[in-house]
Structure 1
Amino acid sequence: MTSRNFRVVIVEDEPHARANLREYVHGVQWLTLVGEAADGAEAVRLVDSLEPDVLFLDISLPESSGLEVIERIRHIPEVVFTTDYAQYAIAAFEIGALDYLLKPFGRQRFQTMLERVRQRLQSKVPAPERAQAAFDKPLRRLFARTRDGIVPIDVRTIQHISASGDYAEVHSDRGQHLLHISLGELASHLDPEIFRQIHRSHIVNLDAVVKLVPYDSRRLLIRLRNGTEIVASRSASENLRSLVR
């Protein structure tokens, strides 16, 4: 048993699922429910104002995803994702979340998760440090919102990424998706041995390059396996030439 109560915020847009979580949390002596939200914007406001120890967070929310909520909050609690889709568990663990609950879940699964929560809350490494360590690792997957939900994108399938205002336009074997993140910020989370920013507006997957062709005396034309051709900047062209010397 813990020596103090830990504060909990629930973010879930489905009323029935939110009610179940509320009931389960109320049944745990060392947890105190301090707030609930049904959308991403309210979730960010609650987490940063209430600073909970534990956040139960639905991955698929109106307006923004649970993954986007994690990117926007300043206070970093222990996070347990709730989701209807097992494949999104990968996202939970890649960004340092503690666990995930696959809906619909029962009291037994909740109790199993609680043991991990209790152990983590009593650990010596603060949640912000663990979250930062997770974000410092190159991403293996990106997650894009569509009209039908959230689509996982294996970074190995990405051909290139282009800047589109404040967004990043990802071109992969699965098609084209728009992510609400700047190109520079996204580049900092990708493996630099595989992904190179060859222009202020373009990142390419080196494994997708089929040919480098001189464009002029200083720049290279990069041809990708999907037929896309991109002209690299002078400095990027020089760096690419160094790879084949």
Structure 2
Amino acid sequence: MPFAQHYQNTLDELSRVCASCGRNPRDVKVIAVSKTVGIEAVRAAVAAGAHDFGENRPDLLAEKAAALPGETWHFIGNIQSRKIPEIVANATLVHSLYKESHLAKFDAAAQAVGKVQDVLLEVNVSGEESKSGLAPADVADVLAHAVEFSHIRVRGLMTMAPQGDLAVARECFNGLAALRDQLRTQLSAEQAAAFNELSMGMSEDWREAVCAGATMVRIGRALFSDTFEAPDA
């Protein structure tokens, strides 16, 4: 099945899921995670109507963004300090910022290219040792530091749920949504208005994320692979 059919099926299912939990599908952005495919596959995805793409390597992000500069590019991978200028040069939104030491480096890189870099703070809601991200209790302090920088705009939070148990995933996503809402009360009106994004949910569990309030879902295998099968609810 080509990408176009996978993508349309996903949009149709998104509409059904949103209807089931009282949400507008227009409030949820589908990010096609293109990290495993080449530029021609991304071109086909663009032709099918996709315009938001997720990459986890700065070099491939740069290559694809140069080939398709009209699309919106999301950086979703691990951040290496020395790669921050390359990430800033090509990413519209960075989903995976969690090291406080990276804030000043993102600010300087963004200032150098004349932009304000939109970022999300990555949160390890589940507490799994294998996952990166801030502990929920530490997010407020990092956010308070981040909003001091004039070339960074914190747009919200990101998380990854444990795989294999959709009930646990739902709990994780609900926890991130509650944390986002709590943190907004500590921000100025202008900052709180911008701090509205929840990037959560992937191919296996995006439906649970949508009902928990996700504004972005990151879907790769379910769009680009013919062998992916969604788990039962």
Task: Kindly indicate whether structure 1 or structure 2 has the higher relative contact order, using CA contacts under 8 Å at least 6 residues apart.
Answer: 2
Q: Where is the helix percentage greater, Structure 1 or Structure 2?
A: 2
Q: Where is the strand percentage greater, Structure 1 or Structure 2?
A: 1
TM-score (norm 2): 0.29
Max radius of gyration: which structure?
Answer: 1
